[in-house]
């Protein structure tokens, strides 16, 4: 009887020691992960990617999105310091793109904003409500977006080698022009006139005009 009891006690002690060791190993792993994420968050903030910095920090805040259980957060002084830096001076976040945003523009009446991204889409936003107004699919990267002077039209890449003028309400292109690797555009007077399309050619320091195909040195997009 005594030997049986001792065997049970020994087994319990062994199980308890294993449990304690497993918890210690898990805690050390979380500490290492915390240190790595703090380093990565700091680097993201330094390069201006505040959203990525906040995402990494929130993995360790004990919230529902966190890797930790509520109450188990292990933030040191660096966590609130980095979180404060990651807030920036943002007034609002327009969320929806599935990949890196490459361009952004605001209409002349300050009512709409447009964004282009690597997810092959253009998005139009209501500035006051922060709600998505329209989504325009394209077959290339949205390297640039530019509102036309009359307001309801948007210039942007539509495919490799082509730039289009879109009607915002119908989400359809009403004009198209050739443009190789265009990075920005400046509208000419009148919708029927080709815009000035600027982008790098293979020759360093030269920008291509989408209207003539000729190069112009040291031109900037204003």
- Provide the pLDDT for residue 208: 38
- Provide the pLDDT for residue 155: 85
What is the average per-residue pLDDT within 25-54? 88
What is the average per-residue pLDDT within 38-57? 90
Q: CA–CA distance from 65 to each of 45, 60, 61, 62, 122 (Å)? A: 20, 9, 8, 8, 29
Buried-state track 110-119, b at ≥16 Cβ within 10 A, e below 16: eebbbbbbeb
Closest CA to 198 of 151, 144, 138, 152: 144
What is the average per-residue pLDDT within 46-71? 75
Read off the pLDDT of residues 124-151 as tens digits, 9 standing for 90 and up: 888 888 888 888 888 888 888 888 776 6
Read off the pLDDT of residues 60-110 as tens digits, 9 standing for 90 and up: 876 655 555 544 556 778 888 899 888 877 666 777 788 888 888 888 888
Q: What are phi and psi of 37, to 5 degrees?
A: -70, -35
Nearest-5° Cα angle at 15, 13 to 19: 115
- Provide the pLDDT for residue 202: 39
208: left (phi over 0), alpha (psi -120 to 50) or beta: beta
CA 157/CA 184 separation, integer angstroms: 9
Read off the pLDDT of residues 63-77 as tens digits, 9 standing for 90 and up: 655 555 544 556 778
- Provide the pLDDT for residue 38: 93
Pseudo-torsion of CA 32, 33, 35, 39, nearest 10°? 140
205, HSE (Cβ side, Cα atoms, 13 Å): 2
CB 205 within 8 A of CB 189: no
Asked if residue 40 has pLDDT above 90, the reply is yes
- Provide the pLDDT for residue 43: 93
pTM of the complete model = 0.49
């Amino acid at each position: 009887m005594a030997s049986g009891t001792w065997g049970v006690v020994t087994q319990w002690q062994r199980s308890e020691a294993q449990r304690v060791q497993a918890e210690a190993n898990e805690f050390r792993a979380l500490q290492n992960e915390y240190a790595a994420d703090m380093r990565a968050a700091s680097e993201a903030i330094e390069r201006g990617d505040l959203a990525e910095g906040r995402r990494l920090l929130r993995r360790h805040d004990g919230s529902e999105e966190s890797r930790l259980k509520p109450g188990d957060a292990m933030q040191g002084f660096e966590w609130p310091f980095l979180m404060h830096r990651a807030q920036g001076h943002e007034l609002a976040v327009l969320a929806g793109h599935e990949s890196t945003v490459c361009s952004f523009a605001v209409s002349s009446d300050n009512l709409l904003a447009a964004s282009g991204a690597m997810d092959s889409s253009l998005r139009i936003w209501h500035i006051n409500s922060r709600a998505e107004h329209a989504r325009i699919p394209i077959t290339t990267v949205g390297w640039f977006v530019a509102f036309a002077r009359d307001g309801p039209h948007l210039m942007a890449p539509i495919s490799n080698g082509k730039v289009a003028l879109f009607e915002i309400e119908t989400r359809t292109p009403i004009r198209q022009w050739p443009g190789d690797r265009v990075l920005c555009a400046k509208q000419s007077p009148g919708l029927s006139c080709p815009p000035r399309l600027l982008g790098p050619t293979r020759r360093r320091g030269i920008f291509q005009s989408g209207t003539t195909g000729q190069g112009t040195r040291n031109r900037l997009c204003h």
